[in-house]
Chains A and B, each alone.
Chain A
């Protein structure tokens, strides 16, 4: 059976989602995104000129059949997020929204209360909601309850490149989730992405690590391969890690089992 990822009514061959921020120029961005073979690319609503057809980011993406995933970065409340999502739907003609509500502009950590509120409202308004959220298994279930089509828990603070610092909680989220789990934020190296996929994440989202690399195109390819390798390993089932060596003086040999 073909291994595809399904979110709402769309299927994806690639399990690597990417972003458009922090690149040194739009051509570099486009080349890296094409090299990544990513089919879903997030773009901050605040960075694009919605009324203008000549926007540098949008023109470079639209030519390459990449699905745009507008995000609400910059908003501080559920109210603002809902407003921004409606704006994005109208201007970019997509009802997909990456819901990001981080009132704290330093570490950009998601506000779980506002995110849940906004998600509930956006679902009712007919959006496909992809919420950026803490690696908190309870909030992920609560989001699932209101109808989000996936959850996007963070591996580490966004842009930190620190890897899966929240691994214990990610494992619980993956174990419990009925919707795809996409590890978002903190993935700084292809090995981190591979690790997330080995754990059973359905996809990862990577931006800074590609954009800020000395060679974004090569790094995009490295991430693509890592995600594929991790996914393949997950499907092939990893050999169990042995927690202890075989005892030299068995305690139960008298049982002859």
Chain B
């Protein structure tokens, strides 16, 4: 069966890197003068040569986003179900070699966490786990989705990659979206950071969005973890992945996230630094490339950065997140995946969004629409 792997293998990392770093200012000008921007142009927009054009890019990103999404920001919150994990990932707090007691929530505990999240106003939830297929496999996930379905209009997951049939089962249980990040599209670097566990299989992960598309999942979120490799090349591959998926699974919605490495138990220092200006440039470049893709911002980022990013092209934001199972009420001190940076309350974040003239959206889906016809 054909998949993104075929497309991916027709590109060479080093060639792309050279092309991106060789871009000159006149090329940037020419791309910004176009009405419709193609994938080739995206290379130009993320190049160092585009940095002096960042204000113009930001203005354009702002206008395009308003046209498509209005003056609104969607709110969501993660709910960590488990930190059990059989992978070694050098950058992650849940890594198997991190010898700390693990926790997987029971039904009663999940509902306690749900009660807390609902009291904050959330209606879109993101369920997160590590990768522990025996204890937190398809049955556990299906049960969790069915359990919380009465309380949320929109349920997403960020868990280990699954098989197409398993995604179909979860969709019928009420699942709306799946987020699966490649971490890096650099094969050798990927191997280095994922030495052990199922996750060490680069190709299986790379083809996960294909399985999601075939399973008819409503929304697929992709992205790279910035800090492992050159963010520009990784972002080009992400955009390539996006364009491939849009053409192949045309009924699916897409979202992109921009996680930058954050401190955690075990501390890996980023190999390549991505500055705030770099991240703004990237967000604007994605918006100019694609008017419709959802762009999401987590609490990994700082207060100051999040305050300023609202009008620059993002469409959804989380607040008050806990990255450990039970973190809201059940077991506040369990092992967390990473330290969040913006610790403000949901009320403070919504106030910050309103003060910029944006409306906060809690509900943009109906559980009755995810009925598995």
A and B associate in one complex: yes
Binding site for B on A (CB under 8 A): 21-26, 45-50, 74-77, 79-80, 83-84, 87, 103-107, 159-161, 208, 211-212
Binding site for A on B (CB under 8 A): 66-72, 153, 246, 250-253, 292, 354, 357-359, 361, 363-366, 368-369, 371, 373
* B366 contacts across to A, CB distance below 8 A: 45-46, 50, 74, 84, 87
**CA–CA, A76 and B369, complex, Å:** 9
- Report which of A45, A48, A211 forms a contact with B70, defined as CB distance below 8 A: A211
Residue of B nearest to A102 (CB): B251
> Could you jot down 15 A-B contacts, CB within 8 Å?
A21-B70, A23-B70, A23-B71, A26-B359, A46-B366, A47-B363, A75-B369, A79-B373, A80-B373, A83-B373, A84-B368, A87-B368, A103-B250, A105-B253, A161-B67
**CA–CA, A215 and B359, complex, Å:** 15
* A212 contacts across to B, CB distance below 8 A: 66-67, 70-71
Residue of A nearest to B360 (CB): A25
* B67 contacts across to A, CB distance below 8 A: 159-161, 208, 212
**Do A80 and B70 touch (CB < 8 A)?**
no
Q: Is the interface of A mostly helix, strand, loop or mixed?
A: loop
Q: How many Å from the CB of A24 to the closest CB on chain B? A: 4
Asked if A105 meets B292 with Cβ closer than 8 Å, knowing A24-B71, A26-B359, the reply is yes
Q: How many Å from the CB of B315 to the closest CB on chain A? A: 12
List the 4 closest A-B pairs by CB distance, nearest first: A22-B70, A24-B71, A105-B253, A103-B251
* A106 contacts across to B, CB distance below 8 A: 246, 250, 292
**Do A22 and B69 touch (CB < 8 A)?**
yes
**CA–CA, A126 and B246, complex, Å:** 37
**Do A47 and B364 touch (CB < 8 A)?**
yes
* B371 contacts across to A, CB distance below 8 A: 80, 83
**CA–CA, A212 and B70, complex, Å:** 6
**Do A22 and B71 touch (CB < 8 A)?**
yes
* B292 contacts across to A, CB distance below 8 A: 105-107
Q: A47-B364, A104-B251 are in contact. List 13 more A-B contacts (CB 8 A).
A: A22-B66, A22-B72, A23-B71, A24-B72, A46-B364, A48-B363, A76-B251, A83-B371, A103-B251, A104-B250, A106-B246, A107-B292, A159-B68
Asked if A47 meets B361 with Cβ closer than 8 Å, knowing A21-B70, A22-B71, A212-B70, the reply is yes
**Do B363 and A49 touch (CB < 8 A)?**
yes
**CA–CA, A177 and B246, complex, Å:** 36
**CA–CA, A104 and B252, complex, Å:** 7
- Report which of B246, B359, B369 forms a contact with A25, defined as CB distance below 8 A: B359
Q: How many Å from the CB of A105 to the closest CB on chain B? A: 4
Q: How many Å from the CB of B89 to the closest CB on chain A? A: 31
* B365 contacts across to A, CB distance below 8 A: 46, 74
- Report which of A22, A48, A105 forms a contact with B251, defined as CB distance below 8 A: A105
Q: How many Å from the CB of B366 to the closest CB on chain A? A: 5
- Report which of B68, B359, B363 forms a contact with A24, defined as CB distance below 8 A: B359
**Do A83 and B70 touch (CB < 8 A)?**
no
**CA–CA, A22 and B366, complex, Å:** 18
* A160 contacts across to B, CB distance below 8 A: 67
**CA–CA, A26 and B354, complex, Å:** 11
* A159 contacts across to B, CB distance below 8 A: 67-68
Residue of A nearest to B216 (CB): A76
Q: How many Å from the CB of A188 to the closest CB on chain B? A: 9
**CA–CA, A106 and B292, complex, Å:** 6
* B66 contacts across to A, CB distance below 8 A: 22, 212
* A74 contacts across to B, CB distance below 8 A: 365-366, 369
**Do A83 and B368 touch (CB < 8 A)?**
yes
Residue of B nearest to A48 (CB): B363
**CA–CA, A50 and B366, complex, Å:** 9
**Do B364 and A105 touch (CB < 8 A)?**
no
Q: How many Å from the CB of B94 to the closest CB on chain A? A: 32
Q: How many Å from the CB of B280 to the closest CB on chain A? A: 22
